[in-house]
Amino acid sequence: MEHTEHSIDPVQEQQEHIQRRTVLQAAIGVGVGLSVLSTLYVGVGFIPKVVVTPEKEPVKAGDILVWAQGAKAGQEITPADLQAALKSDPPFIIAYPKNPENNVVKNQLATNTIMVMQLEPSSLSPETAKYAAQGIVAYSAICKHLGCTISQWKNNVWHCPCHGGEYDPRQGAKVVAGPVPGPVPQLPIKLEGNRIVATAGFLFKPGADV
Amino acid sequence: MYKWLDERLDLQRLNSKLFRKAFPVHHTFFLGEITLFAFVVLVLTGVFLTLNYEPSIREVTTPDGQKLPAAYASILYIDSLPFGAVIRSLHHWSAHIMIAAAFLHMIRIHLSGAYKKPRELNWLVGIGLLVLAIVTAFTGYALPFDNYAITATKIGYEIGAAAPWVGGLLVNILFAGEFSNTNTQMIPRLFSIHVLWLPLTLIALIGLHLLIMVKQKHTQPKYAERVSPGKILGVPALPSQGIMAGILFLVYVAVTTLIAGIFLAHPVQAYGPPTANTPAVKPDWYFLWIYGILQMIPSNWKFELLGATFGPQFWGGIFVPTLIILGAAAIPFIDAQPHKQRYLELPSQHPGRTSFVIGMLMFYIMATLAGYKIDLNLPNALLWVLVLFVPILTGVVAYVILRAFYGKAPQEPQVGGLQGSAADD
Ligand code: FES
């Protein structure tokens, strides 16, 4: 019976095996898990960091509306400009907000693109008139459908050339045609001398409604 | 020299194993090859373009004193190089041809029943390739950075963003943040995806597609069953098939270069660098049907569910295309059979399937017509009738006609005749 004394108990041997296996399995599991996690962490780099520069701040109360493009780009829009625009096509002006404190034109945020237009004051709905000044209205120019700049005037309303969305700027940009899911937000403004000044940010969220 | 290589690479075996493979001949079997040629030309012209293109929107001053975004200016520079404009056009037209040829190739497979067991897998790979080719073309849209390209890409961006739950993340990764003319990271990101990641994926999938085809053998045309039933019919891959393909490739390059020389694609000067004025954009023909459907969806089709918005953009831009892709992928599993398909089927003998394909083509044409809604002043109700009922009607009419013409003909005239004469004897 010398033999049995020296040999390891088979049950005990199996238990040791199981322990070793669990430890190894746990080690592999942790290793794989950490690798996956760190790979995912690399994936975070796919989404760029958003740095809000002064040019990218959203429009807010006190901002002055300036020409977005053309020969006068960057200059303040005056009521006389809007009157003159009525005779051109389109009869409105695309504007960006300018921060009066640092004179920075906030043109690097797409949703800061604004339509300004002089309308007949009596044609405005009461709700729209509340945020207008002497018939001058301002709205976000980014179509609620798929984000084009609504830059045309057709059928006596505001027309988006991308899929034919139409908005009536006299009635809070109510959608009158096309696949557009809702109106664009109005920008409350007032006149300060010859300047058109925002009295608040957009009434609700601008940009495509997706 | 040959002996030296043969001793090391066993060329003889490679030759007899792979290059002597029989490849059946039929004119419609070249559609897949044309797709491949277009891809090869796209890679070659693309390499040329990357060498001179600057993926950046930094402001540069051109020799004549204009201040332009660098990407836009580098397109003008490419156009000024010897044959530069032709090569850029060749790249553009080849993208169209690749998608068109892949689409026709798919219709050929569908009409002849080549998707059936055991080739279901390659049908799926093929659908993946077509979708990927279209996505690759889309990521190239914005690179010239002119007003037209930017407007078109912006629409695509917002459609991507309309995907429920994952849309925001998806477009953030694809476009490196918010879509904007001033987002400096967007063009480099799209550039890398367009010239590196998607082409690599395409090459891998094309390899898989061909490998499966070689492994499973090309389907035999119907005539092979009559000429030599039970045998593989075709010409050896090398030299015969290779010479045919080589000639076809040269013809392809010659014809497309001629087209590119005559029709300059996408003249960027006509649109100018991006501004706040939206040009009247029309997408390319392979997106026009989605564009049409987007315009038909009523604006009040909208609800929210678990934090995601299901708006008209989702229905037109995501839901309908996804449905069609999934429907296409399901075809070999709906039309399943237990035995392996050896010979192609004649479209005339499968009127149900053939009229379905004709109906789908009509749907594509009608949805494309809807893309001209504003230009033609078409009322929405009419468009809905055209898109929903005309394809069904077309399918039914096609079915009736096919039945009337081929329905009474015996399934296998020749074989039947032979059997008949044998029985008479
Ligand atoms: S983006 Fe304006 S109607 Fe579609």
pLDDT one-digit tens code per residue, A158-203: 999 888 889 999 988 889 888 888 899 999 998 888 899 999 889 9
DSSP reduced 3-state for A137: strand
Higher pLDDT, A2 or A14: A14
A44 and A60 within one domain: no
Q: Is residue A5 part of a domain?
A: no
Report residue B86 as tokens: 């032709």
Q: Do A161 and B182 touch (CB under 8 A)?
A: no
Give the amino acid at A184.
V
Which ipTM score applies to this complex? 0.78
B351 and B305 within one domain: no
Residue-range definition of the domain harbouring residue B356: 346-408
Which of ligand 1's atoms lies nearest the C-alpha of A208? 1
**Cβ atoms of residues B58 and B70 within 8 Å:** yes
Q: Is residue A112 part of a domain?
A: yes
pTM above 0.80, yes or no: yes
A166 and A62 within one domain: yes
With tokens 């997106």, the residue in question is: B287
Distance between CA atoms of residues B194 and B200, nearest Å: 10
Residue-range definition of the domain harbouring residue A30: 11-49
Residue A142 has pLDDT above 70, yes or no: yes
A88 and A20 within one domain: no
The residue whose C-alpha atom lies closest to atom 1 belonging to ligand 1 is A146
Q: Which residue of chain A comes nearest to B291, CA vs CA? A: A163
Q: Is residue A6 part of a domain?
A: no
B203 and B54 within one domain: yes
Q: Which residue of chain A comes nearest to B161, CA vs CA? A: A210
Q: Is residue B10 part of a domain?
A: no
B66 and B173 within one domain: yes
A45 and A59 within one domain: no
A126 and A100 within one domain: yes
What integer best gives the mean pLDDT of chain A?
87
Q: Is residue B47 part of a domain?
A: yes
Q: Is residue B6 part of a domain?
A: no
Angle between helices B242-262 and B84-111 (to 10 degrees): 130
The Å distance, Cα A117 to ligand 1 centre, comes to: 20
Distance between CA atoms of residues B401 and B394, nearest Å: 10
Report residue B114 as tokens: 């080549």
A145 and A102 within one domain: yes
**Cβ atoms of residues B72 and B268 within 8 Å:** yes
pLDDT of residue A1: 46
Domain count, chain B: 2
Q: Is residue A3 part of a domain?
A: no
CATH number for the domain spanning A150: value is 2.102.10.10
Q: Is residue A207 part of a domain?
A: no
A191 and A123 within one domain: yes
Lowest-confidence segment of A15-19, A50-54, B28-32, B254-258 by average pLDDT: A15-19
Beta bridge partners of B343: B220
| B55 Cβ under 8 Å from any chain A Cβ | no
**Cβ atoms of residues B144 and B266 within 8 Å:** yes
Q: Is residue B340 part of a domain?
A: no
C-alpha distances in Å from residue A47, one per residue of A38, B141, B173, B178, B189: 16, 21, 5, 10, 11
pLDDT of residue B279: 85
As to burial, measured by CB atoms within 10 angstroms (0-12 exposed, 13-18 middle, 19+ buried), residue B349 is middle
A110 and A173 within one domain: yes
pLDDT of residue A8: 60
Residue from B299, B318, B373 to probe the interface with A (highest A Cβ count within 10 Å): B299
B321 and B191 within one domain: yes
As to burial, measured by CB atoms within 10 angstroms (0-12 exposed, 13-18 middle, 19+ buried), residue A41 is exposed
pLDDT of residue B414: 43
A160 and A116 within one domain: yes
Distance between CA atoms of residues A159 and A169, nearest Å: 10
Under the banding of pLDDT at 50, 70 and 90, the label for residue A56 is confident
pLDDT of residue B408: 60
A126 and A167 within one domain: yes
Distance between CA atoms of residues B355 and B338, nearest Å: 24
Percentage with pLDDT > 90 across chain A: 31
B393 and B293 within one domain: no
Q: Is residue B403 part of a domain?
A: yes
The Å distance, Cα A150 to ligand 1 centre, comes to: 8
The residue whose C-alpha atom lies closest to atom 4 belonging to ligand 1 is A163
Domain count, chain A: 2
Q: Which residue of chain B comes nearest to A113, CA vs CA? A: B276
pLDDT of residue B338: 86
Beta bridge partners of A95: A67, A114
Q: Is residue B81 part of a domain?
A: yes
B370 and B319 within one domain: no
A91 and A17 within one domain: no
Tens digit of pLDDT at every position of chain B (425 positions): 788 888 888 878 777 777 777 778 777 788 999 999 999 999 999 999 999 999 999 999 988 888 899 999 999 999 999 999 999 999 999 999 999 999 999 999 999 988 988 899 999 999 999 999 999 999 998 999 999 989 899 889 999 988 888 888 899 999 988 888 888 889 999 999 999 999 999 999 999 999 998 888 888 888 888 887 777 777 887 788 888 889 999 999 999 999 999 998 888 888 888 888 888 888 889 999 999 999 888 887 877 788 777 888 889 889 999 999 999 999 999 988 888 888 888 888 888 999 999 999 999 999 999 988 888 888 888 889 999 999 999 999 999 999 888 876 545 444 433 333 333 33
A38 and A69 within one domain: no
Q: Is residue B14 part of a domain?
A: no
Q: Is residue A67 part of a domain?
A: yes
pLDDT of residue A6: 55
Nearest to A209 by CA among A142, A137, A152: A142
CATH number for the domain spanning B149: value is 1.20.810.10
Q: How many CA atoms lie within 13 A of A144 on its CB side?
A: 26
| A29 Cβ under 8 Å from any chain B Cβ | no
Q: Is residue A210 part of a domain?
A: no
pLDDT of residue B215: 86
Tell me: cis bond preceding A181? Omega within 30 of 0 counts: no
Higher pLDDT, A19 or A27: A27
pLDDT of residue B242: 85
| B314 Cβ under 8 Å from any chain A Cβ | yes
B363 and B324 within one domain: no
Nearest to B206 by CA among B339, B380, B38: B38
Q: Is residue B413 part of a domain?
A: no
Q: Do A147 and B155 touch (CB under 8 A)?
A: yes
pLDDT of residue B235: 80
Q: Is residue A126 part of a domain?
A: yes
DSSP reduced 3-state for A12: helix
Residue-wise pLDDT for A87-131, tens only, equals 888 889 999 999 988 889 998 888 999 999 988 888 888 888 889
| B181 Cβ under 8 Å from any chain A Cβ | yes
pLDDT of residue B187: 94
Nearest to B20 by CA among B211, B239, B248: B239
pLDDT of residue B4: 86
B238 and B386 within one domain: no
Q: Where are the alpha helices (DSSP H) in A131-198?
A: none
